[in-house]
Amino acid sequence: MKLLRIDSSARSGSITRQLTAKFVEEWKKSHPAGEVIQRDLATTMLPQITDDWGGTRLDPSQLTPDQRNYLSTSDHLIRELQAADTIVIGAPMYNFAIPSSLKAWIDQIVRMGKTFGYGPRGARGLLSDKKVIVITARGGAYPKGTPGEKLDFQEPYLRHILGFIGLTDVTFIHAENQAREEAGPSLASAAEHIGRLVADQSQQIAH
Ligand SMILES: Cc1cc2nc3c(=O)[nH]c(=O)nc-3n(C[C@H](O)[C@H](O)[C@H](O)COP(=O)(O)O)c2cc1C
- One digit per residue, the tens of pLDDT, for the chain of length 207 reads 999 999 999 998 899 999 999 999 999 999 999 999 999 999 999 999 999 999 999 999 999 999 999 999 999 999 999 999 999 999 999 999 999 999 999 999 999 999 999 999 999 999 999 999 999 999 999 999 999 999 999 999 999 999 999 999 999 999 999 999 999 999 999 999 999 999 998 877 666
C-alpha 105 – ligand 1 centre gap (Å): 19
Is 13's C-beta closer than 6 angstroms to any atom of ligand 1? no
Residue nearest to atom 19 of ligand 1 (CA): 139
CA of 140, closest atom in ligand 1? 11
Is 174's C-beta closer than 6 angstroms to any atom of ligand 1? no
Is 22's C-beta closer than 6 angstroms to any atom of ligand 1? no
Helices (H), the chain: 15-30, 65-83, 100-109, 155-164, 183-206
Which of 134, 121, 119, 126 has the alpha carbon at shortest distance from 164?
A: 126
